[in-house]
Amino acid sequence: MDAPPPLNRQEIEKELSTIMKQTERHLDVIDFVVVRQTLRKIIDEAMLESEEFEKAIAEGGDDFVKDVNNSDPLPFIVRGTLHIENKIIEILEYFNKYSKSLDTLDKKIKALNTSTPYPPDDIPVLHAIRRIRNIPAHELAGGRSVDRKVADDLYMTLSEKRREEIQQRLEPKPLLLDPAMLMKLVLSSAYHDLESYLRERRWQDLLKRALRVAN
């Protein structure tokens, strides 16, 4: 299951260099060194978190991967969606937008779309996953299989950018995959997009706070 690429250290180092050049003009030597060390610590921690997450995914040690790797459609759809729902809650909590009134997945996804800067192009797949999760359990468990059209339609709800990235990195092409495997791919993509967004947002906000303190 293909995950989005981890944080790019080279790009981050370039951004840090630009920030420090802009900051240097406004600080004395001691403050400049303190700010640089603080930013370096923030970046190193963010990179370590990113690398550990990617390692857990690659080795199958992540709880999401363990649940989605189940061969039975009922467990991997229900449990995979539960992981996605929990990740949505984490993002809403980060932006102080979560409340107990958001008592359905539909409400949580709508709040994610309207109350946070989460990319709107990545919202349709979450609603599609929610609708599949709501298929009666006896229908999912009965045939022990995933419908071809259901899987294909779900894949097409991914953003165009995400589908292009998957097609470039995956052989065989996604729509040639077994329907169950294609559905797992979409669940994984949606989950990793949520996780990557939250992780990147956290380190960017830490960086901004450090700069505000410096100024």
Give pLDDT tens digits for 154-189. 999 999 999 988 888 777 688 888 888 888 889 988
Spatial separation of the C-alpha atoms in residues 214 and 190, rounded to whole Å: 37
User: What is the pLDDT at residue 58?
Assistant: 53
Compute the mean pLDDT over every residue in the chain, rounded to the nearest whole number: 76
Q: Is 31 exposed, middle or buried (0-12, 13-18, 19+ CB in 10 A)?
A: middle
User: What is the pLDDT at residue 77?
Assistant: 85
Of the candidates 107, 89, 86, the residue with the CA atom closest to the CA atom of residue 98: 89
Would you state the structure tokens that stand for residue 211, as one six-digit string?
């700069």
**pLDDT tens per residue, range 141-161:** 544 678 889 899 999 999 999
Tell me the pTM: 0.70
User: What is the pLDDT at residue 89?
Assistant: 96
Contact 43/20 with Cβ under 8 angstroms? Answer: no
Contact 4/196 with Cβ under 8 angstroms? Answer: yes
**pLDDT tens per residue, range 71-82:** 677 778 888 899
Is pLDDT at 39 greater than 60 in this prediction? yes
Of the candidates 80, 91, 154, the residue with the CA atom closest to the CA atom of residue 124: 154
Can you tell me whether residue 184 is helix, strand or coil?
A: helix
Q: Minimum mean pLDDT among 4-8, 96-100, 152-156, 191-195: which range?
A: 4-8
**pLDDT tens per residue, range 91-110:** 999 999 999 999 999 999 99
